[in-house]
Amino acid sequence: MEFSGKVALVTGAANGIGAGVARRLAAAGASVVVADVDDERGQAVADEVDGLFVHCDVRDPLHSEAAVAAAVERFGGLDIAVLNAGIGTGFGLGDDFDPERYRTVMGINLDGVVYGVHAASAELKKRGGGHIVATASMAGLMAMPMDPLYGANKAAVVGLVRGLGPVFAADNITVNAVCPAFADTAIISSFKDALVSSGMPVMSVDDVVDAFVAVLRDGKPGECWFVQAGRPSAPFTFPNPPGPRTADGERVNLDLTPLTTKEN
């Protein structure tokens, strides 16, 4: 897929999936803003892709706004926002619970997506449309007993993307999520050996990057694409929830379209 003339912002792009996406987009012709809190590695990736590095703590909405502004100042606009910054939780609600750590994780994994969407959407509208892709996780599509708080914030990202899909579609902005299973990144470093010994496939970063490109090419508004080893990525099909019934037991056919506002 060609991205010549496109401008992309990638958060969490100093390593792992974010760095892989930045490299792939740049190789396909895009101008890339590499956003991260790791200045040394982030600058190295930016130098590699002939892009721009910006220090960006996604927990702070002003940082997301500054990253978007930097893209506009350097490259003239914004077409793609990949909201990828994320960290593992690594604790539960027992004796190991740390409220400060909890707020940090939620700030990066959920707030960072919210602030990123808010900051990027206005510039995407100016370009006549574009793409927002958030990195969620298979943990947001299924139960995650080994890290339930991580599952909670990734499920929130999935719900956010599904809700925003039809809202931004009116502005020709496609909002999607990519939901990888275990990929060979720093998030799984502490338990990678256990995964491998249990027979769980660990995907390469390139496998996940392939899914991002597929979403940018074929994604429809609000879709959340699973990424699993050994099978092609595709939109996850969510089961329909039970709908309301009248007092007589008749099904109520709801149309929420009029409630969708363009003031997003």
Active site residues: 150
Q: Are strands 234-235 and 224-227 parallel, antiparallel or unpaired?
A: antiparallel
Q: Which amino acid is at 91?
A: F
Q: List strands edge to edge, sheet with 80-83.
A: 52-55, 31-36, 7-11, 80-83, 130-135, 173-180, 224-227, 234-235
Written as six digits, the tokens of 151 are 């599952």
Length of the chain (residues)? 264
Written as six digits, the tokens of 258 are 């009029």
Q: What angle do CA 255, 167, 131 make, to 5 degrees?
A: 140
Task: Please answer whether residues 31 and 70 qualify as being in contact, where contact means their C-beta atoms are separated by less than 8 angstroms.
Answer: no
Q: Which amino acid is at 53?
A: F
Largest CA distance in the chain: 66
N-term to C-term CA, the chain? 29
Task: Please answer whether residues 148 and 105 qualify as being in contact, where contact means their C-beta atoms are separated by less than 8 angstroms.
Answer: no
